[in-house]
A = this chain, B = another copy of it.
Amino acid sequence: MASLYACIMAGGKGERFWPLSRSSRPKQLLAIAGPQPMIAGVAELNAQLVPPGRLFVVTTQEQAAAIRAALPAVPADNVIAEPCGRNTAPCIGLVAALVSARDPGAVLAVVPADHCIPDRDVYARTMRDAAAVAEREHALLTIGIEPRYAETGYGYIAAGERVAFPGATVFSRVKQFIEKPSRDKAEALIAGGGVFWNAGMFVFRAEDMLAAFRRFLPEFAPALDAIRASAGGEGRDAAIRAAYDAAPAISIDYAVMEKADNAIVAHGAFAWDDVGSWTSVGAYWQQHPGGNAVKGDAALIDAENCIIGNEAAGVIGVLGVKDLIVVRTGDAVLVCHRDRAQDVKKIVQKLREQPGGSSLVD
């Protein structure tokens, strides 16, 4: 069996986690869903699958140093800073090129840095099974998550015919990728069955992904060839810069997966949380009476259904309020209605426009 490599995509800005997240310290570097930075949890998860030398991270120029510090076991050279953000397709092409240069038969798993997967064993088994199917079928695997409710914030994957596999994981051909649906459509999808949340995790032979790029993004393929030719040499960073100058900003779903006829979905049976906003973070904090979730020092009186996070020395006093998110850092406080957690980035944008405000968001 081919060697497995893994790549963590860590390009997110995490503006929804202001004031804790800053552009230099986004969600994946925060310990919001446990005792360690999220990316360290994801690295541990994948350390079950690959040795540190086969684990890559693709991130931004701003975050590279912090990520190297957060993941001391990963070789510094495996933490690759993109010259600029270009969505997921160029990032995945880049890593496929580097990995295939090192190991032409390699299978590569690509996962986001900022998801929380408590069921480690099921995750590891699913990814290993997916790698076996990818190698056997020369297929592009995507990991679907059994949907628990009619979420409108995720894309969905409709499963087609089953793919025979002797292990514990179930696989199907992908019938259709479905964009983030309306509430009604999400409910209809759940009711109809046979759909999965699109978790943005992929497993494939590096050569197969490069072949897909040549087919579906032919104008970008030469840049990936140049990266592959430079891999391990001094020209690598220059080749990456040149590739990103020419790269389209497009997701791997749009660019490749939706067009491919060899897409297979693994039925992921593990708990998964993309921890998309402060509302989801509350579940990982201490639960207090009245439906309140608390982290850090706080004094609550007559508070109900609140998420209170204190990340600095001192205290948050809360009196006679409900359905609020209150997050305090040394230099800022967010007070936000629970229903508006997705709009926290608007505060970030507003601050960026105010004199002196950028120091509070960058």
Contact = CB atoms under 8 A, between A and B. Distances in A.
A201 interface: no
Interface string A323-362: 0101010111111110110011011001100100100100
Number of this chain's copies in the complex: 2
A333 B350 contact: no
A19 interface: yes
Interface stretch (A40-48, A72-80, A312-320): A312-320
B299 A350 contact: yes
A334 to B, nearest CB: 5
A336 B320 contact: yes
User: For chain A, what secondary structure do more than half of its interface residues adopt (helix, strand, loop), or is it mixed?
Assistant: mixed
B343 A316 contact: no
A321 interface: yes
Nearest to A327: B317
B331 A333 contact: no
Nearest to A334: B317
A95 to B, nearest CB: 36
A302 interface: yes
Nearest to A19: B317
A314 B330 contact: yes
A319 B331 contact: no
Interface residues of A, number: 36
Contacts of A360: 314-315
B336 A299 contact: no
A204 interface: no
A301 interface: yes
Contacts of A332: 314-317
B301 A354 contact: no
A88 B334 CA distance: 42
A18 B335 CA distance: 18
Nearest to A344: B319
Contacts of A302: 340
Contact of A317 (B314, B324, B330, B336): B336
Contact of A315 (B299, B313, B339, B351): B351
Nearest to A351: B299
B337 A316 contact: no
Contact of A334 (B19, B313, B319): B319
Contact of A337 (B18, B313, B319, B339): B319
Interface in A277-301: 299, 301
Listed from nearest, the 9 A-B pairs whose CB atoms lie closest are A314-B331, A320-B340, A320-B337, A317-B347, A319-B336, A299-B350, A317-B334, A315-B332, A316-B333
